[in-house]
Amino acid sequence: MSKIKCIVIEDEPLAVKVLSDYILQVPFLELQATFKNALLATEYLRENSIELIFLDIHLPKLKGMAFLKTLSHLPAVIITTAYHQYAIEGFDLNVTDYLLKPFAFERFLVAVGKVKTAQNEIPKANEITQKKDFIFLNIQKKKVKILFSEIVYIESQREYIKIVTTKREYTPKMSTHEMESLLPANLFKRIHRSFIVSINRIESYTAEIVEVNGASIPIGREYRGVIENL
């Protein structure tokens, strides 16, 4: 069984110890390193591949949410904090879960279980999308068929996403991260933490925006290389 490589970014020694102990008890997790601030973690991530980050919000030098916005390739993230008011912003950034300190081991297991489930589903999704030109999504208690060829773009709307197609719009309850894992990578690209666009629908672009079917979609600073490399 392959293990999920993870790091902890936390400036409280006791919290680091609790997380480290919890991680050691989970067979599918492998702790690679711990960091007292996000700047040190940034240096590490430039040279190492990580699948999961346990992240505190109130960190010295660079706050947790600001740190997430600097990452061009976001791994799974579990927020660990004593402040509940940042939950909405966290889910806007597609974090996997939000743990309020102090949290029990059972609650920790629920959070990391979500990461494990998502990783198990990605190969299945890729296998499906290579053979099919559509997906079925749960929308208003129905399974709705959506053709890849009709999707224009996808926009994050907190716990929902808006899927704009050439025929209509859909709002399933899921994250852009989950949706991205179901889409063929050769047909769709994330150009902003809140937007995924269909490559075939791109009409023009600048350094700041992409035009798709008459709609102007912003390009996130960290995603500009994605468009240039198309």
pLDDT (tens digit per residue) in 63-82: 888 888 887 677 899 999 88
State if pTM tops 0.85.
no
From residue 173, alpha-carbon distances to 156, 157, 159 in Å are: 10, 9, 6
Q: What percent of the chain is predicted at pLDDT more than 70?
A: 90
From residue 130, alpha-carbon distances to 124, 171, 176 in Å are: 10, 24, 20
Amino acid identity, residue 32?
Answer: Q
Residue 28 scores a pLDDT above 70: yes
Cβ pair 122, 140 in contact under 8 A:
no
The enclosing H or E element of 46 equals helix 38-47
CATH number given to 4-127: 3.40.50.2300
Average pLDDT, the chain: 86
Give CA–CA dist 37/42, Å, rounded.
9
Is domain 132-228 given the CATH code 3.40.50.2300 in the classification? no
- In the prediction, which pLDDT does 129 show? 47
DSSP result, 118-168: HHHHHHHHHHHHHH-SEEEEEETTEEEEEEGGGEEEEEEETTEEEEEESS-
pLDDT (tens digit per residue) in 111-149: 999 898 887 765 554 554 456 789 999 888 889 999 999
From residue 100, alpha-carbon distances to 24, 55, 122 in Å are: 20, 12, 28
Amino acid identity, residue 21?
Answer: D
pLDDT (tens digit per residue) in 37-62: 998 898 888 778 889 999 998 888 88
Cβ pair 136, 148 in contact under 8 A:
no
- Look at residues 41, 123, 102 and name the one whose alpha carbon lies nearest to residue 77: 41
Residue ranges per structural domain of the chain: 4-127, 132-228
**Of 13-17, 20-24, 105-109, 180-184, which range is least confident?**
180-184
Q: Which residues in the chain belong to E strands, given as ranges?
A: 4-9, 29-35, 52-55, 76-81, 97-100, 134-139, 142-147, 151-157, 160-165, 169-170, 188-192, 195-198, 202-205, 209-212, 215-218
- In the prediction, which pLDDT does 93 show? 67
143 strand-pairing partners: 138
Give CA–CA dist 8/58, Å, rounded.
14
DSSP letter at 213? T
- pLDDT category at 91 given cuts 50, 70, 90 is low
Amino acid identity, residue 90?
Answer: G
